[in-house]
Amino acid sequence: MSLASALYIVPTPIGNLGDMTQRAIEVLTAADLIAAEDTRHSRRLLDAYSISGHLWSLHEHNERARSAAIIERVQAGQIVALISDAGTPLISDPGYPLLRACRDAGVNVIPLPGPCAAITALSAAGLPTDRFSFEGFLPAKSGALNSRLDGLAKEPRTMVFYESPRRVLVTLTAMIEHFGAEREATLAKELTKRFESVVQSTLAGLIDWLEAEPERQQGEFVLVIGGYQVPEGEGLPAEAERWLALLIAELPLKKAAALVAEMYDVKKKLVYDLGLKLQGR
Ligand code: SAM
């Protein structure tokens, strides 16, 4: 198969080697250069598919410096692949400065679909998937952690977080403070691996599950947290109120209320009544 010269973004398995796609193997086999987060780790992956691959390391400390050289290679007609240690590059992984530089230079970029822990967890979480917010890793310092969670307390969409075994209990405890113990939550652990578990519960229920057997606290985790639900009869989230105020300046109240009700999945009447108040009627 002959491939166009480009920077290819190539997802790799998040545990189970069987999840490497046929196309990922073809691109990595054909690549003149493979930019990888950790070359020793990626060499083992490539060996598993008998791909010899010329590897370059690309991590947060050298990414800007290496981008220019990678762009030159693609402009000279080569095939360059970008991989990370696991899953989709750029998703809580290196690659953004390189991608940005490629876009700015008008370099051809071809993304391949493939494994991603966030999407795999979300698909099995049993929480709404029509709208969701990917939040990646939370800050480690308590001040920054609390202010991030505070800002998310009224987020109506399902939220997806990455977490390490070291911090999973700290994070769940902090989430209880900001979201409440009964907020729906799913923990997806060791996806695609031997000790895979997907546990759907509440924030408090997940802490109980993790504490019941300490070995459950080991491994890689995705936390999928249900969005804020406006309690029956209570007001709208502040963000919805702001949208309503903006929309009624441009649209008839009925139309504006219908749009905001749809956006936040709340009763039209609730929004309409608030609109009347905002209009001073
Ligand atoms: N780029 C990757 C992706 O597409 O999912 C994510 C890389 S990020 C550095 C690593 C984090 O992803 C882990 O700390 C964990 O939160 C999550 N993760 C990766 N593999 C996982 C797995 N097999 N099961 C559960 N979570 C996983």
Q: How far is the CA of 86 from the centre of ligand 1 (A)?
A: 7
How high does pLDDT run on average in the chain?
95
Q: How far is the CA of 113 from the centre of ligand 1 (A)?
A: 16
**Which has more confidence, 180 or 280?**
180
What does the pLDDT read at residue 180?
Answer: 97
The two structure tokens encoding residue 198:
């997907």
Q: In the structure, which protein residues have their CB atom closer than 6 angstroms to any atom of ligand 1?
A: 14-15, 84, 86-88, 91-93, 116-118, 162-164, 188, 190-193, 220-222
The two structure tokens encoding residue 118:
């966030």
Q: Which residue of 14, 20, 99, 161 sits with most ligand 1 atoms within 8 Å of its CB, as the best mutation to test the pocket?
A: 14
pLDDT tens, residue by residue, 158-213:
999 999 999 999 999 999 999 999 999 999 999 999 999 999 999 999 999 999 99
Q: Which fold has domain 6-111?
A: Cobalt-precorrin-4 Transmethylase; domain 1 (3.40.1010)
What does the pLDDT read at residue 237?
Answer: 80
pLDDT tens, residue by residue, 92-116:
999 999 999 999 999 999 999 999 9
- pTM (two decimals): 0.86
Q: How far is the CA of 162 from the centre of ligand 1 (A)?
A: 7
Q: How far is the CA of 119 from the centre of ligand 1 (A)?
A: 10
The pLDDT of residue 232 is above 70: no
The two structure tokens encoding residue 23:
């196309």
Distances (CA, A) of 257 to 170, 171, 249, 271, 280: 40, 36, 12, 5, 15
Confirm if 206 and 199 have CB atoms less than 8 A apart. Answer: yes
Q: What is the CATH number of domain 117-225?
A: 3.30.950.10
DSSP string, 89-150: TTSSSS-HHHHHHHHHTT--EEEPP---HHHHHHHHS-S--SSEEEEEEPPSSHHHHHHHHH
Q: How far is the CA of 220 from the centre of ligand 1 (A)?
A: 6
pLDDT tens, residue by residue, 45-80:
999 999 999 999 998 889 988 999 999 999 999 999
Percentage of the residues of the chain whose pLDDT score is greater than 90: 87
pLDDT tens, residue by residue, 240-273:
889 999 999 999 999 999 999 999 888 898 899 8
Q: Quick one: which atom of ligand 1 is closest to the CA of 116?
A: 4
Q: How far apart are CA 270 and CA 281, in angstroms?
A: 15
**Which has more confidence, 30 or 278?**
30
Q: How far apart are CA 41 and CA 63, in angstroms?
A: 18
Spell out the domain ranges in the chain. 6-111, 117-225, 238-278
Q: What's the farthest any 2 CA atoms get from each other in the chain?
A: 72
What does the pLDDT read at residue 281?
Answer: 75
